[in-house]
Structure 1
């Protein structure tokens, strides 16, 4: 029998200040029977030192899976991280996404056989991202819409992600026009299903690399359930210097082939 109910896989690259806030959010979870696997695509020692410090002090079980920096190879490090997990249920997120305290519990509560959950995230502007403290996370005030508005947040319809529970969340999840997909910031499902399609396609660089895995899972018969108003994280602001337009076009072609040919299994995944 597995020791943990869930494995949270957090991808990161040279964002130790953001990763610190994210790890604080996992210390605040109502569900405590989970492990954290940090999938590190080549960060410097600053990140390693932060993780080592957390591991020494925290009650959370944390593994740091690292590979040498050789360009954007997120899919490769995620595949390595998957093999390091020791539970049947995987939650994928990023090192710039602060998880609400019911994040792990709600993923587990809503989990279903042959299904993946497509969760939500709420983007924060740079000034608010920078001021959020450990105490703001511990107290959960950073998820309070009034607190965020007082800090300068612009009010939009998306604030419903932070204020929806119970019936309201069900209505918005059910009738949102947004499709349920594999979005690496907040998605969960069964390890056996990820292994059945051989994980992430390591030819994919930035731009839809997570969606492609989702499309193969769908071809494999997995249903994606919309949970964007139930499973919430705050997305901290950051730039994307690694965007490569040529690679994005290559990714689009790979995804097109996956869709049209109904591909379930990649030869360029976990097992070569």
Structure 2
């Protein structure tokens, strides 16, 4: 049975979580691409890991005219704490299905639609990205364009830029289905109830790296199956220098322990927060 056809007949309410840190120009372009989606999310939550007032001002300027509720969840800047701010955003989310991206991405106009058509109970979704070089990224930031020709120069990961529905559907359960190392946290989707079941992200992960693989491992340990979105759910990644990876080795050890011990529930997770306790910008 064609799951895309099945899902088109049921209403899935969606929260889009966008993580960001001190790059309002990129976030602006990301939000423009969200506002131009063929299918809009039901709410957008900015998961802000300590940005300064420029990001707050941007969100406030867009909030009144944005086509869906635009919510700003913020925490103080105490180093790279992506797991923590994502948990706060999950706690604040009100919809059944959560799609997460990063604020340095431009979303293809059918990004949300692709994810929803492939959403399926008992699974989570991992996607991929198209990398753009510095020159193309700077051009898009300057022009505020949210789309390019598919053959434009300045992109890598070439096959990821094509939206082809029959291939998207074919590969959903076939592309690296059992490999939790093959995923991108900047393009994932989950049922909120599944995230609550495993207690969201593990906040023992501090600094860049492996928090996305670790939550995927716990979901798989809980019987939630990984699916992949190829030839759809396309995101275009704006160029920036790589983040510091000094804690990646320690995070790798934590990931290995989760896999070996078949951990499902993390102690320092989303259960620390409730809707009322999540901070706005202050």
Report the equivalent of 1:218. Answer: 220
Report the equivalent of 1:235. Answer: 237
- Residues 173 and 227 of structure 2 are in contact (CA less than 8 Å); yes or no, is this contact kept in structure 1? no
Say if 2:211 is the partner of 1:209: yes
- Residues 117 and 226 of structure 1 are in contact (CA less than 8 Å); yes or no, is this contact kept in structure 2? yes
CA deviation string 1:189-243 (max 9, x = no partner): 10000000000000102111111111100100011111132211001111234x1
SS in 1 for 2:40: coil
Query: TM-score by structure 2 length?
Result: 0.85
User: How far apart, in 2, do the equivalents of 1:92 and 1:47 lie?
Assistant: 19
Report the equivalent of 1:75. Answer: 83
Report the equivalent of 1:162. Answer: 161
Report the equivalent of 1:262. Answer: 262
- Residues 25 and 101 of structure 1 are in contact (CA less than 8 Å); yes or no, is this contact kept in structure 2? yes
User: How far apart, in 1, do the equivalents of 2:171 and 2:257 lie?
Assistant: 32
Report the equivalent of 2:114. Answer: 106
CA RMSD of aligned residues (A): 2.1
CA deviation string 1:226-261 (max 9, x = no partner): 1132211001111234x142x211111110110000
The unaligned stretches of length 5 or more in structure 1 are none
CA deviation string 1:146-175 (max 9, x = no partner): 2x22xxx26x6x322222402344456666
Go from structure 1 to structure 2 and tell me whether the alpha carbon gap of 1:82 and 1:182 turns closer, same or farther (over 3 Å shift).
farther
User: How far apart, in 2, do the equivalents of 1:79 and 1:175 lie?
Assistant: 30
Report the equivalent of 2:278. Answer: none
Report the equivalent of 1:30. Answer: 38
Go from structure 1 to structure 2 and tell me whether the alpha carbon gap of 1:174 and 1:59 turns closer, same or farther (over 3 Å shift).
closer
Total equivalences in the alignment:
258
Q: Offset at 1:183?
A: 2.4
- Residues 173 and 229 of structure 1 are in contact (CA less than 8 Å); yes or no, is this contact kept in structure 2? no
Go from structure 1 to structure 2 and tell me whether the alpha carbon gap of 1:174 and 1:85 turns closer, same or farther (over 3 Å shift).
closer
User: How far apart, in 2, do the equivalents of 1:34 and 1:136 lie?
Assistant: 23
